[in-house]
Amino acid sequence: NAGVTQTPKFQVLKTGQSMTLQCAQDMNHEYMSWYRQDPGMGLRLIHYSVGAGITDQGEVPNGYNVSRSTTEDFPLRLLSAAPSQTSVYFCASSSGGPSSPLHFGNGTRLTVT
């Protein structure tokens, strides 16, 4: 009963490096999203997807790319890491509609030096 799995749990990058944060869910949820959590700023939506092949931007999309080739996977790519991207990143999924609760992974803690 894995739910939403995020890898890696921790990552340190140098400015300018790129990387991909992985997210996989085994609940056959159509909707997946990425949030970042910063102290004093709550959870902010980066990108989301309403199904395979469909993605859209959230509140803070700059510097991030996503794609959704399968229902299960929704990777988040950092193109050229910046210290402002130091944060905790959460992937979430839901079964459908705004009334469906979000199921979160346990996060990836990213530090950019």
Partner 1 sequence: QKEVEQDPGPLSVPEGAIVSLNCTYSNSAFQYFMWYRQYSRKGPELLMYTYSSGNKEDGRFTAQVDKSSKYISLFIRDSQPSDSATYLCAMSAEGNTNAGKSTFGDGTTLTVKP
Task: State yes or no: residue 1 binds partner 1 (CB under 8 A).
Answer: no
53: left (phi over 0), alpha (psi -120 to 50) or beta: left
User: Does 25 contact partner 1 by CB under 8 A?
Assistant: no
Q: Which of residues 41-60 bind partner 1 (CB under 8 A)?
A: 41-45, 48-50, 58
Distances (CA, A) of 74 to 14, 20, 39, 40: 24, 10, 25, 26
Give the nearest distance from C-beta 65 to partner 1 in angstroms: 18
DSSP 27-78: S--SEEEEEEEETTTEEEEEEEEEETTEEEE-SS-TTEEE--SSSSB--EEE
- Identity (one letter) of the amino acid at 72? E
Question: Does residue 66 interact with partner 1 by CB under 8 A?
Answer: no
Closer to partner 1 by CB, 14 or 39: give it: 39
Asked if 2 interacts with partner 1 (CB under 8 A), we say: no
- Work out whether 94 is an interface residue with partner 1 (CB under 8 A): yes
Give the interface with partner 1 as residue ranges (CB under 8 A): 4, 30-33, 35, 40-45, 48-50, 58, 90, 92-94, 96-107
